[in-house]
Structure 1
Amino acid sequence: MTVPTLFEDHRFIVVNKPAGLLSIPGRVSPNPVSRAGGSSGPVSSGLLTDSEPSLLEVLQARTPEAKVFVVHRIDRETSGVILFAKNEESHRLASGWFQSHAVKKEYLTLASGAPRLPAIRVNRPIEGKPSLSQVQVLEKFRGAFLARVRIATGRRHQIRIHLSEEGFPILGDPRYGGAKEFSGLVFNRVALHAEKLVLPADGKLSSLEILAPMAPDMESWVSSLRALASGGSSDAR
């Protein structure tokens, strides 16, 4: 499986995760990997794996002599940038960044609806925890739009929940009201891509911005929606 590396040094490895790949092994895994904290046994995400290895297992197989540490996760159906640590010290450092919301995170998404405003600020708790999403409309289509979403927090399914609650469910996300088919297009996964991570300066390095190019399926959907909006047709399915 090809997993492009976006950045790597002696502390971290940042990759562009393909959609459909679990970030870490599920509850049952054919190739258990130790937890980042050092205890044995498979890391649990609450999901059952299939025969596909998780992203953590793919990266661990590249460097069997050194342990790879989980810092954060993105959903299985989400593509894009994700950070892992290469040693315990770096794992503690990066985990602290995420816990203190020092890491800036931006996503691209395709959602249904027609927002009246070019920007939407959603500050609504999820499971009782403060959750903030800032949505910037980049392009409008016929009944749908492309948006960039900046999240200050990282609750599970945060963007999917917030957009759905605003009346703009993400395409390909039936769990939160998103259509699997739209204007003749088939969305076989949640149309969500983790585009950017910005790591803070830490005394050793200045802040670092890492970008993940939009996934090919997302690019195809955008092109098709653009063509439909201009009166053309699309054969993307």
Structure 2
Amino acid sequence: MQKRIIIVPPPEEGSSLIDFLSRTLNVSKKNAKKIIDARRVYVNNHPIWMAKHRLVLHDKIIVFNESFHATHNFPILYESNEFLIINKPYGILSNGKCSVEEIIQNNRHTKEIKAAHRLDRDTSGCLILAKNPMAKEIIIQTFKTSKVRKIYLALVYGSLNAKELRIKTPLDDLPAETIITTQQANKKASFLLISITTGRTHQIRRHLASIGHPIMGDYTYGTGHPLVKEIPPVPRQMLHAYKITFSLPSLEQITAMAPIPRDFYEYAALLGLRIYPNKINHL
């Protein structure tokens, strides 16, 4: 994998990432922004997608070439003749150009494999792919009948103490329900287990923002929270598709679980929270 490693020198301390890349790579700001948006830039081993991110002296910048995702092998959580469930990293689309779908199609030399649903670019975790059109249709119909159980983990701003909080605010004039149980909380942050029975666009992110506890690192719904400037820089959108369970027409039940990402543990610790997988209170 081709990459360029750059250490931030004294004259560039405090520069924005986009300005630094423009000068260092000798490209326009427009092209520097494209490189950042393609999730090809890492700062101190963490992907950074904020063009205005301020650099610190001796930061380690890694810029990967355009084929960065081309041969990525995603952790497989479940596989059968019809389905594949992988652990999607954050920073990559579920389908479309340079997506999980495209990479797996290329790696397996078949265009039949399709993402059966979508996770947001910056959400990690369980993603189902169908190996043929019939399998994809089965998943689509299963989702429509609410026979899919999806559980997420999230770190949100502020103290949210909920044994079981149900948010039923309609989204886009459609019914939506998000069920939340707090695992840990302090004044700065809360670690949540979340279940959804509907799958509206950005449902979890919108529902949590609506009650004043947006997901950390959500730059669409969470930028206005007063704690944003009081806590350490967020490495990513802190939302992870932890577990998925669904039943097939044959009545076979399939379950997959994506391990809690390392950055969740590390960032939670910075906030004074401790994550113990064996102590998560499942819904």
- Shorter-chain TM range is 0.7 to 0.9
Structure 1 unaligned regions, length at least 5: 30-52, 229-237
Given the alignment, which residue of 215, 219, 230 partners 2:265? 219
1:97 corresponds to: 142
Q: Per residue, is there more helix in 1 or in 2?
A: 2
Q: 2:85: which partner in 1?
A: 14
Of 141-150 and 4-13, more deviation after overlay is shown by 141-150
Structure number with greater Rg is: 2
Asked whether the equivalents of residues 111 and 171 of structure 1 are also in contact (C-alpha less than 8 Å), the reply is yes
* Aligned mate of 1:148, from 181, 187, 193: 193
Q: Which residue of 1 aligns with 2:156?
A: 111
Following superposition, the deviation at residue 66 of structure 1 comes to 5.5
Can you give the 5+ residue segments of structure 2 that lack an aligned partner in the other structure? 1-71, 275-283
Structure 2 partner of 1:135: 180
Using structure 1 for the length normalisation, give the TM-score: 0.79
User: 1:183 Cα shift?
Assistant: 4.7
Q: Considering only aligned residues, what root-mean-square deviation do their CA atoms show, in Å? A: 1.9
Q: Deviations along 1:161-194, whole A, 9 cap, x unmatched?
A: 0001011111111321246956542113211000
Distance in structure 1 (CA, Å) of the matches to 2:139 and 2:161:
38
Q: How does 1:57-68 map to 2 (within 5 A)?
A: 57-65=102-110, 67-68=112-113
Q: Deviations over 1:80-106 (max 9, x none)?
A: 000010012111111101121111001
Q: How many residues align?
A: 201
Shift of 1:219: 1.9
SS state at 2:209 partner? helix
Pairs within 5 Å for 1:152-167: 152-167=197-212
TM-score scaled by structure 2?
0.67
Three-state SS of the structure 2 residue aligned to 1:175 is coil
**2-structure distance, mates of 1:156, 1:66:** 26
Select the residue among 166, 171, 177 that pairs with 2:216.
171
1:87 paired to 2:158: no
Q: Is the Cα–Cα contact under 8 Å of residues 182 and 191 in structure 2 kept in the other structure? A: yes
CA distance in 2 between partners of 1:169 and 1:92 (Å): 33
Runs of 4+ displaced beyond 6 Å: none
What is the CA distance between 1:119 and its match in structure 2? 2.1
1:107-129 superposed Cα distances (whole Å, 9 cap, x missing partner): 00000122243221000111101
Contact 1:142/1:225 (8 A) holds in 2: no
The 8 Å contact of residues 178 and 195 in structure 2, kept in 1 or not, is answered as: yes
